[in-house]
Every structure is written in structure tokens, then in C-alpha cells.
A and B are shown apart, each in its own frame.
Chain A
């Protein structure tokens, strides 16, 4: 069978029906991962024993394949009474998976702030709360902005995993089109190009953000 560019083009609108789902899952999973990852890192720092537990949790999350974690939430949890709709399972799974990585990003973001920053704030007579809000937090956010942008792209690229748990995102739709028409090559090329364009756009904005923060953040 010859590759049919017209067919490839014609299935694009159908595939784009899943764009909304792909995007909201990407955003929700990124936010979920950020909140969870930040919580994991704060808990890890808070006391010694909790630190060991959190270290294990973070490492375990980073060591198991994302597909395994998704299947676990979708197939295993219902056995114990916790049944979530497919998309919610998917968002939860991706959030947990990337929280492990983002915990490390937050750790790096906080550790890379020089201890002298806190001392300078204290020496000026600022309250601890003001030092954290005005001195530490802005620097931490600048430190984590670029890595988090990259994980946002990773979350986008992970949304196709959710096809295996029947979520109507773009790859799932492309597979359906292929199954219906017996032509898989064209939908795969189309969906691949759509993802490429999305990822390039996000990368462009992340790089712009990085450049703007660089000027303000030079040491």
C-alpha cells in the first residue's frame, strides 16, 4: 500500500478532537506532579525519619515504569474498592510518576540557593517569613522554572500512554482511525507531526522564559 498524503491530511480533524483531552491531561498532570513533588520534598526535609521514608517513596516512584503505575491504578485499585474514571486515573498516574522527578527538581532548586542568602536576609533584620517569601522563594522558582518546563513537555509526551486505559486522547483516536480504515501509517504520521508541533511550541516558550529569567538571575 502506498502512503496516501491526502488521507493523512483528512484524518487530522478527527485526531484533533482529542487535542482538548491531551492538553487538559498535560496541564492537570503537570500541576498534580508539581504539588505532589513539592510536598514530597518538603516532607523529606522536615525530619530525619520522614526523610528516609520519603527518599524510599521518591526512589520507588522513579524506578517503576509509568505504564506499570498506570495499569496499577486502573486495574488493581478497583479490586480494593477505589474505582476512578479512566481520565482521572491517567492524571493521577502521571502526577504520581512525575512527582518523583519534580521532588528532585525542587531539591536542586532549594539546595542551589547559597546559604549566605538566608544569612543576609536575617542580618538585615527580616523576619524568617519575609526571608523565605522575598529572598528564597523567588530564587527557587527561577531555579525550577526551566526544568519544570521540560517536565511539562514530558507530560505531554506521556499522554499517549493513557490510550491503553481507554482515554480519548490523540493517539488513541489515531489508533481507532487506523483500525477503522485498515491504514495505520497515515494516522500515525499525522498524530506524530501534531505532537511534534505541540512540543516545539512549548519548548520555544520554555526557552524564552529561561532567557528572561537568566538576565534577572545572574550571580
Chain B
């Protein structure tokens, strides 16, 4: 089934998920258009990470539907790995492959999943390593890089696959403070270039400058959605107000 060009990048409807008897996601409805930048925030345990991990089915949902570029995904979707090639993901703990160089980390999926030749894959990889401002590290191993550098490599690795939407799962939460900016700068550049992004983060300044919409989650529900200006100056829901007062 081919994806339709006018379909939203991600459409989530009536999503519910349980871990055993504990319901972790309640009635989630969320639509993300192409080129939209969404920030999802909320207290720990609100289900934010679980939600975006359902989008590329690293977690499976129990009820409701998820469509990525018009294509439905679920636990029984055949050839999910092909759909995942159009969804990029950046993890809190980077998850770079330690036995491969920076360049090899980026070219692996291009060669194995997109069937690219070595030379062409390396060209693509170098292009994105320049985009994240780290081209000189191409022959280093992840263990030789700082956290901020590793995360930028992880972003480049995901971008190499030319995804239609990028998912960020708390990309700066495991970084020392002085390295957060370099990663956020790369993400801001990406946003300016029009990449569709769904970003779970606690970095409120980033949300304020970059997001088109802020989604606030609490206890497995979407409690409030608004543009950043409205959300940060005049949040409607008491839980959102409480969360912001603790944060800012």
C-alpha cells in the first residue's frame, strides 16, 4: 500500500495501551502534519516515550490506530521494517553501534536496508555528518566521542535514511549541560529546514523557539495541546499550569 501525499505524517486515533493490568495510554488522539514540529512534554511516567515508541512500533499498542504517511501500523503489520526506514529515531542514550566507526554507523542501514553501494553510502553519510557539524570524526569509534558528539552522530545516522518524520525520545536528557546546546542547535537547524519532528523533551526553551505545537501529557492522557506562546503564557488546564510552575 503506497502512502498518499496529502495524508498527515502521523495520525493517532483512540490509542490505548496496557502493561499487564496498568493502562499506560488512554484515548490518545494526535495528528501531526508534514513539516510540523511537535514537542511532547509532561511529568515522568506520563507515557510520552511510550507514545512515540508506538509510532515506529518499538512498543505495540492494544487499541486504536496509528497511521504513518497514510499507512497503518500495528503489532501485526507485515514488513514493519520497511516502514521504519521512513521514520528516523534518536534515543536518549544514543544507541550508537560501538564496534563500528562513526562513518560505518551511518552507512550500515544504507547498505543493508537501502542496498546502496559502499561509495555512495559514504558520500551520503559524509553529507549528513557535515550537517551535524562533525565530519572530522568519521573514523573515530563512538567510545572516543563525547556525549554531545555521539548524539549528533545518532542524528546524522537517522537522517541518512532520509526519513519523512523524525522521532526524538528525550535526546538531551542523558547529556551533561554544556553539551545540550550543540545537540539542540542541530535539532533547531533541522526544524528550520522543514523536517517533520515529534520531540519528547524537557527543554522548554527549545519548545518555545522551535515547536509549532506543544502537547502536554499527564498520566497517559493528552491533557492540553496549544501553540507554544499560548501554552507557556496561558495554559488552560490546571495540571499544565502546575507542571509549568514547577519547571520555570
Interface majority SS (helix, strand, loop, mixed), chain A: helix
Give the residues from 192 to 238 in chain B that come closer than 8 angstroms, CB to CB, to chain A: none
Q: Which residue of B lies closest to A139 (CB)?
A: B99
Q: Does A124 contact B (CB under 8 A)?
A: yes
Q: Does B113 contact A (CB under 8 A)?
A: yes
Knowing A218-B143, A218-B144, A219-B142, say if A124 contacts B109 (CB, 8 Å).
yes
| Cβ-defined contact, A126 with B112, below 8 A | yes
Q: Does B84 contact A (CB under 8 A)?
A: yes
Q: Which of A120, A128, A218, A219 contacts B91 (CB 8 A)?
A: A120
Q: Does A119 contact B (CB under 8 A)?
A: yes
Give the residues from 118 to 163 in chain A that come closer than 8 angstroms, CB to CB, to chain B: 119-128, 130, 134-135, 138-139, 142
Give the residues from 129 to 153 in chain B that come closer than 8 angstroms, CB to CB, to chain A: 141-144
The complex places the Cα of A218 from the Cα of B97 at a distance, in Å, of 10
Contacts of B117 in A (CB 8 A): none
Knowing A130-B112, A134-B108, A219-B143, say if A122 contacts B95 (CB, 8 Å).
no
Q: Which of B95, B113, B142, B143 contacts A126 (CB 8 A)?
A: B113
Contacts of A119 in B (CB 8 A): 58, 91, 95
Give the residues from 87 to 139 in chain A that come closer than 8 angstroms, CB to CB, to chain B: 114, 116-117, 119-128, 130, 134-135, 138-139
Contacts of B157 in A (CB 8 A): 124
Q: Does A216 contact B (CB under 8 A)?
A: yes
- Interface residues contributed by chain B, number (CB under 8 Å): 29
Knowing A123-B56, A134-B112, say if A216 contacts B141 (CB, 8 Å).
yes
| Cβ-defined contact, A123 with B97, below 8 A | no
**What's the least CB distance linking A178 to chain B, in Å?**
50
The complex places the Cα of A189 from the Cα of B120 at a distance, in Å, of 62
The complex places the Cα of A186 from the Cα of B93 at a distance, in Å, of 60
The complex places the Cα of A127 from the Cα of B143 at a distance, in Å, of 26
Q: Does A68 contact B (CB under 8 A)?
A: no
Contacts of A124 in B (CB 8 A): 84-85, 108-109, 113, 157-158, 161
| Cβ-defined contact, B141 with A218, below 8 A | yes
Contacts of A134 in B (CB 8 A): 108, 112
Q: Does B68 contact A (CB under 8 A)?
A: no
The complex places the Cα of A76 from the Cα of B112 at a distance, in Å, of 52
Q: Does A215 contact B (CB under 8 A)?
A: yes
The complex places the Cα of A216 from the Cα of B141 at a distance, in Å, of 6
Q: Which of B58, B96, B144 contacts A123 (CB 8 A)?
A: B58
Q: Does A217 contact B (CB under 8 A)?
A: yes
Contacts of A127 in B (CB 8 A): 81, 112-113
The complex places the Cα of A103 from the Cα of B208 at a distance, in Å, of 53
| Cβ-defined contact, B84 with A122, below 8 A | yes
Contacts of A217 in B (CB 8 A): 98-99, 141, 143
Q: Which of A117, A123, A142 contacts B87 (CB 8 A)?
A: A123
Contacts of A117 in B (CB 8 A): 95, 97
6 inter-chain pairs at a CB distance below 8 angstroms, sorted by A residue, are A120-B96, A121-B97, A125-B86, A130-B112, A130-B113, A219-B98
Give 3 nearest A-B pairs by CB, closest first. Answer: A218-B143, A125-B85, A120-B95
- A residues near B (Cβ < 8 Å) are 114, 116-117, 119-128, 130, 134-135, 138-139, 142, 215-219
In the complex, besides A116-B95, A126-B109, 16 extra interface pairs with C-beta distance below 8 angstroms are A119-B58, A121-B97, A124-B108, A124-B161, A125-B82, A125-B83, A125-B85, A125-B161, A126-B81, A126-B108, A126-B113, A130-B112, A138-B99, A139-B98, A142-B99, A218-B141
